[in-house]
Structure 1
Amino acid sequence: MPIETNPPLLNEEDLRNIALWAAVCAERALPIFETEAPDDTRPRAALSAIRAFAQGGARTAALRKLAWAANSAAREAGDPAASAAARAAMAAAGSAYAHPIATPHQVNHILGPAAYGAQAAALAAVDPAGIIEAEVRWAIAQAPPEVRHIVQRMPARAPSKGQFHALLYRLDRGLRQ
């Protein structure tokens, strides 16, 4: 009798689809960081590397290091909006390392670049409430069917406290519709 094996929850093609959407979302916020820190290229380098992975490149230790470098840029940024934009780049670069485990935490890794991008836009805006809604709608509209399908295979996020977790929840709900 043959042994039944289930395919992995996320395969390399899934990770590439996630990475491409993550890059698109994080790139939208990158100018916010670059206005604050024009000489700091770490978030841009992380986004270039994740784009290369999304287009068929290897998932290497260099990509992981670039994600951590973007995180360092976020910590060093003197402005909360710039910090969130750098975190969007960090989360995008880290998306190649999402684990094939069906947990809400892993969904955060998929949604993080869009949520940090929306947070950056809101922190940089005069009317943050309107910007957040627009950014969430934009990110959902940019998600290809493959990313929607991946999110739908994962457990749904439950509502939780805090603005960032509210963004993750709204993105999760929107991608499931």
Structure 2
Amino acid sequence: MVSQNTGGSYYLLVKKYSREDQMAMATWAADCAERVLPLFEGAYPEDDRPCNAIETCRTWVRTGVFTMAGIRGSSLGAHAAARDAKENDAACFAARAAGQAVATAHVPQHAYGAAYYALKAVAAADPANAGVTVAAEWDWQAGRLPEGLREEIMSRIVVQERGSRVSVKLRKGEGF
């Protein structure tokens, strides 16, 4: 992000995406979240908040119509489900992925968060094999992005192996 001083006020400048790119990012984010949704649903089968968030995202992509209250409510609902699942890291991260996916309708950069949390969910679901499963999921995510967005987005989602541990980071900075 770049800050700009305009008469004593600072504003953060973030990259603007075209409507087409934002829709593609939202579809991708929903796909990423949906892949890990079973990690949440298996642990909390009665809680449909993350599923509803993904469906709200897909409805926006299909129709192009949303209300801020609807998007915000779906996102906050999925994040509340994540907080309720705090004792189960994989389920918690899966719910967060859904909350980030639907928020892409408001701010395109939330798509990055959906992929980031999906990778964290995969790592938490199988810590003994996290290096392999996270690498495979990262490759899947990269392959699903339109070519024009792939390098920019995936270069910000950093996976590092440190001994037997896998770390997933979201590199923010200029334009994010």
Same fold (TM over 0.5): yes
Aligned amino acid, residue 63 of structure 1 = I
TM-score by structure 2 length?
Answer: 0.75
Alpha-carbon separation, structure 1, partners of 2:56 and 2:62: 10
Q: Which runs of 4+ in 1 moved over 6 A?
A: 158-162
TM-score by structure 1 length?
Answer: 0.74
Partner of 1:174: none
Alpha-carbon separation, structure 1, partners of 2:132 and 2:158: 20
Deviations 1:136-161 (A, max 9, x none): 11110111235338x37xxx649799
SS of match in other structure, 1:96: coil
Aligned length: 148
Equivalent pair of 1:33/1:85 in contact (CA under 8 Å): yes
Q: 5 Å matches for 1:112-151?
A: 112-125=113-126, 126-148=128-150, 151=152
More strand by share: 2
Cα distance, 1:132–1:159 mapped onto 2, change above 3 Å: closer
Question: Which of 60, 66, 75 is the equivalent residue of 1:67?
Answer: 75
Question: Which of 75, 88, 98 is the equivalent residue of 1:79?
Answer: 88
Aligned amino acid, residue 120 of structure 1 = A
Q: Which moved more, 1:57-66 or 1:129-138?
A: 57-66
Aligned amino acid, residue 144 of structure 2 = Q
Structure 2 segments unaligned to the other structure (5+ residues): 1-14, 161-165, 172-176
RMSD: 2.5
